[in-house]
Every structure is written in structure tokens, then in C-alpha cells.
């Protein structure tokens, strides 16, 4: 469980209540491109409240008169939130859609412009979050110090609880899958991801405990900040350590799969030992045909700001790259309840 994983900045000095209302968790998807203005699709920007991405997709497909599988979107967005995200919707020949006539109590159209391509999964730069925490208690001075540490050093890039399902049940289901239990194809994909995430979080937790999660170690593989490109292992010298310190590059951990770990030396020894400690999960994802990949151990929230709206109400704003979890940033600051 993510709540049991070690902290990088001494543990949360605050406690509070999250998501008292959907408006307390605002998410803006950052896709990094604009509508082309012409083409065989609509680029539809929506705002959804207390509705999941699948629900919004069904409503848009029904309105446009197309199959759900023909729509595209970059990523899933939380149900218990107000989230703005983009969909590509095929434009049927000879059908003039009036998006202003779309009506749904939980989904609002912000814009709809013609676009040349279908949006592919993962095709986004990141997300911007505005989080309001209520009933806050704790040491405000210490909270300021933790926020400064987060801004300067970043946070461990743990997979959040959303990846593991209620009570972490997805990992147990993954073990059942590997033992022969049958699951639907979509759920199978979720369970494979949960298994890999469990191993990654275990590796990251070990490096947080050793205070090496944000330090270059012998045998490390590195990821360029804001990009998917990785390199290494290579000689750890002063110049490379300085690049890590500046946040230009980040050490990585394994997303388990077939093949040989790219890491070497002490890093490979640690990752191999943790893979062996989770041998059922490691063997299961290998047998499923997943390949070895890497994920940054550290994330640095962008444009991190905070403000006290009342004595017991705190608002925190920041942006994260694609694939990072707001809960992994917030957990360093406070323990929350739903």
C-alpha cells in the first residue's frame, strides 16, 4: 500500500480531508498541441464533474453517432474530480454536428474544433492540478519547509493508489491471473500494470530508505527530464552528478518484463534482489510477454504554489509530467482522508 511506503522529506506534517467536493480536485490536461483546424476528426475539449473518462466517452460517441472505439483520448482522469481533458471524435461525412446542443449534467463542452488525427493514448505532456484540502491540522511552519523541499528536490515517483485498486486488490488479482484465473482482456491489462508497479514501488522504496532515490549510483540508467529517452549505465562523474542535482536527468527503476535489466553493478543487484522477492509477479509479467522498460525514480512538480484559504483550508497547485500521480506529491505534505 502506498501509505506504507517511506517518505523522502521526513513524513507529512499535516493531515486533512481531500475531495469533500469534486471541485476540490481540479485537473487540467496539458496536451502540448492545438487543433489543426481541418481534418476528419473533432478535437473536443470537455470538462467533466464526478464522472469517469469512460462515461464521458460514451456520451460523446452517442452524440456524434459513432462507435466508442473510434474516439481517442490521451489518458484516464479521476472520477472524483473536476477534470478537463481532450477527445478526438470522428467527423461523419455529410453530418454537421452542432456541439453547442450537447447536453449532459456531468459533461460540458468547452470547445470543439476540426482536427487531422485521432488522439493516441499517452499523447500528452502532463497535467495541472489545483487541490483544496479541508479540515487541515498540523505544523504549518514544517509544512512550509516540506513544500520548499518538494520544489527543490522533487518527490519519489511512486505509482499511486489508483494503479492498485481499492485496498490494493489489483496485486492479489494479478497473482490469481498468473495462477490461471481468467479475466476480461481490459482487466487483464490493468492487473499486469499493477504487478509491474508493485515491483517498481518496492525498488523505489528501497532507494528512498537508502537516500539514493535522487542520487546517481554506480550502474544507474538515467531518463532525460520531460522526455522518454534513457541512457546509461556510464561512469558516474562530477558532471553527471551535477546534471542529476539540477533535475536535468533522473535515475530510473525497472518496469519489469522479459529480457535483461539494463542497469548494472549495485543498482542491478538491488533490482534483481527485489525482483526475486516478488518472483511470482516478475515471472507472471515475463510470461505475459511484457518487455523490460524504465521509469524515472523522481518527479519534480512544476510551478508549485500554495495558499491558506482559511485556518484549516489549504490550496496547492502544481503540474506533473504524464504518468505521474498527484497523490505521490501530496503524500509528502499531508495524510489525507477521502
Question: Where in the sequence numbering do the catalytic residues fall?
Answer: 78
- Report the alpha-carbon distance of residue 31 to residue 309 in Å, rounded: 30
Note the Cα 35 to chain centre separation in Å. Answer: 25
Q: What does DSSP say about strands 313-321 and 126-138: parallel, antiparallel, or unpaired?
A: antiparallel
Q: What does DSSP say about strands 334-337 and 14-17: parallel, antiparallel, or unpaired?
A: parallel
- Nearest of 138, 169, 129 to residue 330 by alpha carbon: 129
Q: Contact, 328 vs 201, CB < 8 A?
A: no
Across 91-127, b (16+ Cβ under 10 Å) vs e yields beeeeebebeebebeebebeebbebeebbeeebbbbb
Give residue for cell 520548499: 148
What cell was used for 237?
Answer: 562523474
By three-state DSSP, how is residue 127 classified? strand
The torsion region of residue 271 among left (phi > 0), alpha (psi -120 to 50) and beta comes to alpha
- Report the alpha-carbon distance of residue 175 to residue 292 in Å, rounded: 19
Q: Supply φ then ψ for residue 308, to 5 degrees.
A: -85, 115
Amino acid at each position: 500500500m502506498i501509505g506504507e511506503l517511506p517518505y523522502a522529506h521526513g513524513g507529512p506534517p499535516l493531515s486533512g480531508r481531500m475531495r469533500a467536493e469534486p471541485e476540490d480536485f481540479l485537473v487540467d490536461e496539458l496536451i502540448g498541441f492545438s487543433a489543426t483546424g481541418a481534418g476528419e476528426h473533432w478535437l473536443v475539449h470537455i470538462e467533466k464533474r464526478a464522472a469517469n473518462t469512460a462515461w464521458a466517452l460514451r456520451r460523446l460517441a452517442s452524440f456524434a453517432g459513432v462507435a466508442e472505439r473510434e474516439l481517442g483520448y490521451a489518458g484516464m482522469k479521476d472520477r472524483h474530480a473536476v477534470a478537463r481533458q481532450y477527445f478526438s471524435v470522428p467527423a461523419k461525412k455529410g453530418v454537421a454536428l452542432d456541439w453547442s446542443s450537447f447536453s449532459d449534467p456531468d459533461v460540458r463542452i468547452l470547445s470543439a474544433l476540426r482536427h487531422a488525427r485521432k488522439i493516441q493514448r499517452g499523447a500528452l505532456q502532463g497535467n495541472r492540478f489545483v487541490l483544496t484540502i479541508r479540515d487541515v491540522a498540523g505544523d504549518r511552519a514544517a509544512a512550509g519547509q516540506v513544500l520548499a523541499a518538494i520544489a527543490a528536490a522533487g518527490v519519489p515517483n511512486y505509482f499511486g493508489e489508483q494503479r492498485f485498486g481499492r485496498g490494493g486488490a489489483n496485486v492479489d488479482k494479478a497473482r490469481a491471473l498468473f495462477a490461471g484465473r481468467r479475466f476480461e482482456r481490459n482487466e487483464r491489462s490493468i492487473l499486469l500494470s499493477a504487478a509491474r508497479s508493485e515491483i517498481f514501488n518496492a525498488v523505489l522504496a528501497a532507494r528512498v530508505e537508502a537516500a539514493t532515490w535522487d542520487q546517481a549510483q554506480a550502474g544507474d540508467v538515467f531518463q532525460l527530464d520531460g522526455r522518454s529517452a534513457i541512457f546509461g549505465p556510464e561512469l558516474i562523474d562530477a558532471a553527471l552528478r551535477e546534471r542529476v542535482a539540477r533535475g536535468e536527468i533522473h535515475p530510473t527503476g525497472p518496469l519489469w518484463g522479459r529480457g535483461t535489466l539494463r542497469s548494472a553493478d549495485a543498482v542491478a543487484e538491488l533490482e534483481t534482489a527485489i525482483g526475486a522477492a516478488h518472483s511470482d509477479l516478475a515471472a507472471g509479467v515475463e510470461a505475459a510477454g511484457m518487455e523490460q522498460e524504465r521509469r524515472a525514480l523522481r518527479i519534480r512538480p512544476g510551478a508549485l504554489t500554495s495558499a491558506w484559504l482559511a485556518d484549516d483550508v489549504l490550496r496547492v497547485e502544481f503540474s506533473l509530467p504524464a504518468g505521474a500521480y498527484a497523490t505521490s506529491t501530496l503524500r509528502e505534505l499531508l495524510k489525507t482522508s477521502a
